[in-house]
Structure 1
Amino acid sequence: MFDTMTFTKVLGGFCGALLIFLLAGYGAENLYHTGPKGHGEDHVQGYVIEVEDDGADAAEDEGPDLLTLIAQAEIDKGERVYGKCRACHKLEDGANGTGPHLFNTVNRDKGSIDGFTYSSAMAEMPGNWGYVELDAFLEDPKGYVRGTKMSFSGLKKIEDRANLIAYLETIQ
C-alpha cells in the first residue's frame, strides 16, 4: 500500500535536486553578474570611455526629409504600396469601399467624402490631407486619429509612405 521508505527517498531526491538547482543558480549569478553587488549598490564594474561628440550622428540618423523623398518618389513603387490599401479603398471618384475612396486625396479636407460614414474622431478633424498629415496618418493611423475605424497598422518605412503619397497625388 503505502511504503514510507520509498516516499522518503523520492521526497529527498526532489529536495536534493532543488538544492542543487538553487546552488547552481546562485553560483552562476555570482560568476556572470555585471551589475551592482552588495551594500554599495551604486558601484558598477566597468570602464567609461569618453569620446568627443561632433554631432555627425544626429544628421545621419534623420535621413532625408519627407518633401525630398516625395520629390524623388517612384510612382510605380507607390502603386505597389497601394496594394496594401486596395482591400478597403478604391481610386474611382465616389466609389467608396470599406474605407472612403482615395480619388483626389492629397490636399482634400479630412473627413469630407459625401456618402461615407466616418468615425466621429475623423469627421471632427480640422484641416486637409497635406503631405505631413498623410505621412503621419499612414505611419500610424490609430495614433494620428484616436478612435478611427481604420484597422490598418500603418507603413513603417518613410520611403513607402512617400511613394504612396506621390502615387495618390496622381489620382485626380
Structure 2
Amino acid sequence: MLDTMTFTKVLGGFCGALLIFLLGKWAAEGLYHVGGGHGDEAQAYAIEVADAGDSAGGAEEVDFATLMASADLAKGEKVFGKCRACHKLEDGANATGPFLYGVVGRAIDAVDGFAYSGALEQVGDAWTPENLSHFLENPRAAAPGTAMSFAGLSSAEDRANLIAYLDATDD
C-alpha cells in the first residue's frame, strides 16, 4: 500500500509533467502558428467600404494591358530582388522554387526536375502576364495549398514591372 508521501510525489510528478507539456504546447503554437489569419478566421466585426467600381470616374484603376505597356524594366529588376532568394533566372537552374527563365508564356508546372505542389493548376494552363499578375498579387489566394510562402505584391505597377522584366530576360 502507498503511503501519503509516495502518493504526493507521484501526483506532483504527474502535475509537473502536465505543466511542462502544456507550456511546450503553448510555446509551439506561438512559434509555429498555421493559418495566417487571411480569411481563415472570422473577424470580430465587419467594416463596410464602398466598392471601387462605384467610385466616381473610376480613375484610380488602370487596366493591366496599359500597365504592361508602360512597365519599367529597371523597376522590375528591383522588384525581382524579392524573388531572388527562391528563384533563379538562369535556364534550368532550379532553387527552392523553379527557375524563371522563359516563365512568361510557359506552361504552368512545366519545369522538368521540379516537384510542384499541385495547387498551381487552379491558376490556369500557362503563365500569361494576366495569370502571373493574379498569382503574384496573392499566391495563397490564387492557388490555395501552394508551397510558395511569398506574401504577394499588392502593387499592380510592381507586378507589371516584374512581369515585363521576366519577359525581357529570356530574349
* Range of TM-score over shorter length: 0.5 to 0.7
Q: Is the 8 A contact 1:106 1:168 kept in 2?
A: yes
The correspondence of residues 123-162 of structure 1 with structure 2, limited to 5 A, is 126-162=124-160
Partners of 2:123 and 2:78 in 1: how far apart? 29
Identify the residue that residue 58 of structure 2 maps to in structure 1: 59
The correspondence of residues 1-172 of structure 1 with structure 2, limited to 5 A, is 57-62=56-61, 64-122=62-120, 126-172=124-170
Q: CA separation of 1:124/1:76 partners in 2, compared to 1, >3 Å: closer, same or farther?
A: same
Give secondary structure in 1 for the equivalent of 2:86.
coil
Report runs of 4+ in structure 1 exceeding 4 Å deviation: 123-126
Give secondary structure in 2 for the equivalent of 1:59.
coil
Q: How does the TM-score come out when normalised to structure 1?
A: 0.64
- After superposition, the C-alpha distances for 1:25-73 in whole angstroms (9 at most, x for unaligned) are xxxxxxxxxxxxxxxxxxxxxxxxxxxxxx76242232x2111111101
How many residues are treated as equivalent by the alignment?
117
Supply the AA of the counterpart residue of 2:56: D
Supply the AA of the counterpart residue of 1:148: T
Superposition deviation, residue 147 in structure 1: 0.8
The 10-residue stretch of structure 1 (126-135 or 77-86) with the greater mean CA deviation from structure 2: 126-135
- After superposition, the C-alpha distances for 1:117-172 in whole angstroms (9 at most, x for unaligned) are 10022267651011110000000001111110000000000000000000000121
Supply the AA of the counterpart residue of 1:156: S
